[in-house]
Amino acid sequence: MRPYTSALSKGLPRSLDQLLSQTSAQQHSTTSTLCSHSRRALSSASHRTLNDTLSRTMAPSARRSSIIASYAPMAATHVRQYSASPKSTTHARQYSVATPTRDASSFAFAFDIDGVLLRSSAPLPGAAAALTYLHKHNIPFILLTNGGGKHESERVAELSKKLGVPLSEENFVQSHTPFKQLVEGTETAEALKDKTILVTGGDGDKCRKVAEMYGFKNVVTPGDILMHYPDIWPFNQIFSDYYKSTTRPLPRPVDIQNLQNSLKFDAIFVFNDPRDWALDNQIILDLLLSKQGYLGTYSEKNGDSTLPNNGWQQDGQPKLYFSNPDLFWATSYHLPRLGQGGFQACLQGVWEATTGGAELKRTIIGKPHYETYKYGERVLNKYRAQLLGFGDQEEAITPLKRVFMIGDNPESDIRGANQFNSPRGTEWTSVLIKTGVYRAGTVPAYTPKVIVDDVFAAVKWSLEQEGFDTSTMEM
């Protein structure tokens, strides 16, 4: 039985070149019907991941601090306490750390966050102790999450405070972090820095601010459009008060009689889980049906059987990007809740009902996609070289042989690690834990190397695989 699945459940396409050249898509399916027209949601949908876009060399952070200095013995004691409730109540239960018996430089860790280190913003038992141990012994790790909605600097500061461990942007990858590279563009994707983009998802206009911090200059939200043109959605009164505090003027008016001066979009980004599914679905659909991305227009090519895809998305419509495919994620509720993959499936169902089953062309990143793991591995190797005293000289260090991916979601964390074929030859070993999406006692959709109770047990098991003596490492 597979009680919880990703919105994407078949093979993973890997090339942005495929997206840009509009080649045929791979097919995918979902086990969940999320809206009235989504019975076939995602069953024949195409989606592609950032390939050449994400293969560009990452620019260093403008605010990089000394990574090695940040590893000053914050964990000087061998015993740590943990906070395991939203009220940050201190528990008496303690963790002692083990002593390594061999060089730690040949392996590293990658951690999911929600359901692994935190649950509903509260640290999970053993999370702080596990990360403290790795910090103390200079064992590299990254946080590789499908979460987002805040800038990396803000999220890192929050996590450092909650977990009591110094973190930095250099070992932190959110679902939308790779979107940074679309600001300046690549050999296969145009620069979007000066273009007008639609950004949706997250609380208020936080994702707009994240996009602007990445370097996008003209960022519009669905709320901006609704407040200027309330007739675009007949039930506008429901969320009007919510949008009032974050609305900004539109860069141009909507003037379908004079398109040269009318509002035009060049890309659509779903940065984080949308809050107002109805409005976001409507505006995204409008733009996918538009003439060249001009809001309020309708392409005459739509439905033309003489054109590829029966004319749908054949008239310069904006490209559509999703930051992650997770159908479910772990919250404070005892059962997993719908995530961005649920919104995606709903949009797919509406699209199919509108177009008679036409392919929806879109790009999806985030776990379990190949390019997200490739991006994460690059971040990890760069961070590892700095941590171990080699600066930017990655080639001077012994190659990374193994990464332990610790996650709670078989569809994203485990699937991605199992299927990732590292271009550097690094082995990724998947470790599934029971504190999040995965339901203990069920058969996971994708089989991990091992299933353990929690993140502390996962780190302990991984260290033992690398020859560490963990006899004194107890919860």
Q: Report the amino acid identity of residue 176.
A: H
Mean pLDDT of 101-113: 79
Q: How many CB atoms lie within 10 A of CB 392?
A: 10
The H-or-E segment that residue 269 falls in is strand 267-270
Phi, psi of 442 (to 5 degrees): -95, 165
166 and 190 together in one domain:
no
The answer to whether 53 and 188 have CB atoms below 8 angstroms apart is yes
Q: Does some domain include residue 348? A: yes
pLDDT tens column, 21-36:
333 333 333 333 333 4
Map tokens 């260090």 to a residue. 397
Mean pLDDT of 118-139: 93
The H-or-E segment that residue 321 falls in is strand 319-322
Question: Which range, of 87-91, 127-131, 382-386, averages the lowest pLDDT?
Answer: 87-91
Give 414's DSSP letter: I
Map tokens 């098991």 to a residue. 461
Q: Does some domain include residue 212? A: yes
Please give the angle made by the CA atoms of 146, 147 and 152, to the nearest 5 degrees. 110
282 and 418 together in one domain:
no
The H-or-E segment that residue 329 falls in is strand 328-329
For residues 58 and 118, the model is more confident at 118
**Separation of alpha carbons 111 and 118, rounded Å:** 11
**Separation of alpha carbons 172 and 189, rounded Å:** 25
Pairing assessment for the beta strands 118-119 and 122-123 based on DSSP bridges: antiparallel
Listed residue (280, 347, 9, 326) closest to 148, CA to CA: 326
Nearby residues of 360 by Cβ (< 8 Å), 6 or more positions away: 45, 46, 47, 288, 313, 320, 347, 348, 351, 352
> Last residue of some domain: 344, 364, 384?
364
Q: Does some domain include residue 391? A: yes
**Band of the pLDDT at 236, cuts 50, 70, 90?**
confident
3-state secondary structure of 199: strand
DSSP lists the bridge partners of residue 268 as 198, 320
> Last residue of some domain: 364, 382, 412?
364
DSSP lists the bridge partners of residue 99 as 469
Report the chain's mean pLDDT, rounded to a whole number: 82
**Separation of alpha carbons 389 and 35, rounded Å:** 52
Cα dist. 201→12, 181, 205, 367, 399 in Å?
24, 19, 8, 18, 38
171 and 183 together in one domain:
no
Q: Write the CATH number for 300.
A: 3.40.50.1000
**Separation of alpha carbons 30 and 342, rounded Å:** 10
DSSP lists the bridge partners of residue 48 as 363
Mean pLDDT of 93-110: 58
The percent of residues above 90 in pLDDT, for the chain, comes to 69
The H-or-E segment that residue 431 falls in is strand 427-433
Give 180's DSSP letter: G
Mean pLDDT of 110-126: 95
Q: How many CB atoms lie within 10 A of CB 306?
A: 7
Give the pLDDT confidence score for residue 62 in this predicted structure.
36
379 and 348 together in one domain:
no
438 and 461 together in one domain:
yes
Extended strands (E) in 26-161:
79-83, 90-96, 107-111, 118-119, 122-123, 141-144
Give the pLDDT confidence score for residue 78 in this predicted structure.
31
383 and 265 together in one domain:
no
- DSSP codes joined into one string, 215-255: T-SEEE-HHHHHHH-GGGSTTGGGTHHHHHTT----SS---
384 and 351 together in one domain:
no
pLDDT tens column, 147-173:
999 999 999 999 999 999 999 999 999
24, two tokens = 């045929």
The answer to whether 32 and 18 have CB atoms below 8 angstroms apart is no
201 and 309 together in one domain:
yes
Give the pLDDT confidence score for residue 40 in this predicted structure.
37
Give 169's DSSP letter: G
358 and 217 together in one domain:
yes
Domain ranges, residue 327? 178-364
Q: Produce one character per residue of 325-339: b if its CB has 16 or more CB atoms within 10 Å, e if not.
A: bbbbbbbeeeebebb
Q: Does some domain include residue 4? A: no
Cis-peptide into 368, omega within 30 deg: yes
DSSP lists the bridge partners of residue 207 as none
212 and 341 together in one domain:
yes
Phi, psi of 287 (to 5 degrees): -70, -35
pLDDT tens column, 45-90:
344 444 444 443 343 333 333 333 333 333 333 333 333 333 333 3
**Separation of alpha carbons 448 and 468, rounded Å:** 21
**Separation of alpha carbons 332 and 340, rounded Å:** 17
Q: How many CB atoms lie within 10 A of CB 27?
A: 14
> H helices of 388-451, where?
415-419
For residues 51 and 268, the model is more confident at 268
Could you give the number of structural domains in the chain? 2
